[in-house]
Homo-oligomer: A and B are copies of this chain.
Amino acid sequence: MVARYELIADDLRNEIVSGALPVGSQLPSEAELAERHGAARGTVRQAVAVLAAEGLVGSRQGARRIVLGRARSQSFGELHSFAQWARANGYRFGGQVITQRRRAASAAESARLGPGEVLEVLRLRSLEGEPVLLERTVYAEWVAAAVERIPADCESVTEALYDSIGLVFAYGEHLIDAVSAGAEDARLLGVRRGSPLLRQRRVTTTHEGRPVESSDDRYRAGSVTFSIRNSIGANPLVRQAGDLRSGR
């Protein structure tokens, strides 16, 4: 069942992506869109809210909406899963488990994932034949067994876990910064020690808010970029200070 407002949003998005509504141009008014699609105004507003959330259009009270950009945002799955992202963008990609072991959870890990044992997995992912990403992932005890059953060269861990135990990654928190490559990072990614890496730390939970995994992912510099489009009134991304003040 596809919602009416999704169809209207698709329609408008196609006009933007195709260039029929160029960047900087005005969208039709809500009244006109409502008449064109035979829908109520509220439904049209839901549709343009989708486009606004994608960063494609902006709006201000009293004036027509304008087109801000043509790039289509990808889904949560594509941010969460390297495989889903790479596939959606037509890249050749691969993955290989380097090491995998169970151990007791540290205090910090207990706080994030719950008490007990954790499963620590080191995975190297490649894009277009080159190693680009080193994932150090810690899984909560309740998914550890399912993760251990996954082949070492599995393309998509996310999909494997969905197929095997119906696990859906629903919410994530991500911290993005830059770090120096350590000895292991450098060896596996094929860069010099101390060279820059883009780091994405994340904690992911299920629909119910149950923590699944905590990960430290490091990208070779130049291999990927994170992109965000925002506006006054929208605030998806936040800047946080590091360890600047004494006592922190």
Contact = CB atoms under 8 A, between A and B. Distances in A.
A192 to B, nearest CB: 8
A66 B208 contact: yes
A128 interface: yes
Question: How many chain copies does the complex carry?
Answer: 2
Contact of A229 (B171, B179, B197, B243): B171
Contact of A177 (B180, B198, B243): B198
Given A85-B239, A209-B66, A240-B224, A77 B232 contact: yes
Nearest to A42: B42
Contact of A227 (B77, B195, B233, B240): B240
Contact of A233 (B66, B76, B229, B232): B76
A17 to B, nearest CB: 15
A130 B178 contact: no
Contacts of A177: 198, 221-222, 224-226
A127 B74 CA distance: 34
Contacts of A198: 176-178, 198
Q: Nearest 9 pairs between A and B by C-beta?
A: A236-B236, A196-B196, A178-B198, A178-B178, A178-B196, A176-B226, A177-B225, A227-B238, A73-B235
Interface of A: 23-24, 53-55, 58, 60, 63, 66-69, 71, 73-79, 85, 89, 91, 127-128, 130, 132, 168-180, 194-199, 205, 207-209, 219, 221-245
Given A71-B238, A76-B233, A174-B229, 20 more contacts: A23-B209, A53-B235, A74-B239, A77-B232, A79-B239, A128-B244, A170-B231, A171-B230, A172-B230, A172-B231, A176-B227, A176-B228, A177-B198, A177-B226, A178-B199, A178-B219, A194-B195, A223-B244, A228-B237, A234-B236
